[in-house]
Chains A and B, each alone.
Chain A
Amino acid sequence: MAVVVRIPTPLRKLTGNQNEVREEGGTIREILKNLELHYPGIGERLADESGELRRFINVYVNEEDIRFREGLDTPIKPGDEVSIIPAIAGGAA
């Protein structure tokens, strides 16, 4: 089933300026795969060559960080909301 995926401002260029899209998938991994299918280029911004989530990308299902659930295998059910949130970081070093 399709769920709402919230797209952060830095990635909206890839979704035709949509801040929310609907995507099918039973897990986050499937949703990311379908996102790349519909919005080419978004996949490599979210995951590295081995398919793992990039270090500075956070993904939430509803109120929970998927790193504290089952990572990319976190299951999705109808009505869930997926949020993609690039980290905000920096440093002098």
Chain B
Amino acid sequence: MGMPGSRPLNREILLPASLSKEILVHCLSVRPEEGCGLVAADSSGRAVAVLPITNALHSPVRYQMETREQFDAMKRLRREGWSLWAIFHSHPHSEPAPSPTDIRLAFYPDCLYIIAGLGTDPPILRCFSIVDGKISEHILRIVPDSVTNLD
């Protein structure tokens, strides 16, 4: 991935179906609290694993990853040779778009932000980049696990 400024907007992002399901299963399991976690990519940039992390705030309108679990998850990424591909969290009621707080606290501009909207049936996932306070939405495609995301 290049510098944030050079990244084309509205990229097509491929998320394997099993990972999409893991994100939703986790977020639904902690509802009505916001759920959160990380998605790792392998060295070819393909999303390969979901790492759910406890929302230390246990709130329906705020999340902050439990520090120790986040530290352990980052260590696991390093050990496996993975990179941080996406940060996900859920909006149990509101629409899955970044809130002003989400934007203000987006400290990882090189990483995708996936938001799970649980207020609809079925729930939906949307995917954004948040760079210098500016949001761009990508086209998130849930694909069979056999399809790879080589970019």
Is A65 in contact with chain B by the CB < 8 A criterion? yes
Decide: A91 near B101, CB < 8 A? Known: A83-B71, A85-B70: yes
- Digitize A55-93: 1 where CB-to-B-CB distance is under 8 Å, 0 elsewhere: 010101000010000000000000000010111111111
B91 touches A87 (CB 8 A): no
Is A9 in contact with chain B by the CB < 8 A criterion? yes
23 inter-chain pairs at a CB distance below 8 angstroms, sorted by A residue, are A9-B84, A9-B110, A10-B107, A58-B70, A65-B67, A83-B71, A83-B74, A85-B67, A86-B108, A87-B64, A87-B67, A88-B36, A88-B70, A89-B65, A90-B62, A90-B102, A91-B63, A91-B101, A92-B62, A92-B94, A92-B99, A92-B101, A93-B61
Q: What is the CA–CA distance of A65 and B71 in the complex, to the nearest angstrom?
A: 9
Decide: A93 near B87, CB < 8 A? Known: A9-B108, A9-B111, A10-B108: no
For chain B, the bracket of interface size reads 20 to 34
SS class, residues of chain B in contact with chain A: mixed
Give the A-binding residues of B (Cβ under 8 A). Answer: 34, 36, 38, 53, 57, 59, 61-65, 67-68, 70-71, 74, 84, 87, 89, 91, 94, 98-99, 101-102, 105-111
Q: What is the CA–CA distance of A91 and B74 in the complex, to the nearest angstrom?
A: 22
Q: Which residue of B lies closest to A92 (CB)?
A: B61
Query: Hey, which chain A residues are within 8 Å of B98, CB to CB?
Result: 90
Q: Given A90-B99, A91-B62, A91-B101, list of 10 further CB < 8 A pairs?
A: A10-B107, A65-B68, A85-B74, A88-B65, A88-B87, A90-B89, A91-B34, A92-B34, A92-B99, A92-B101
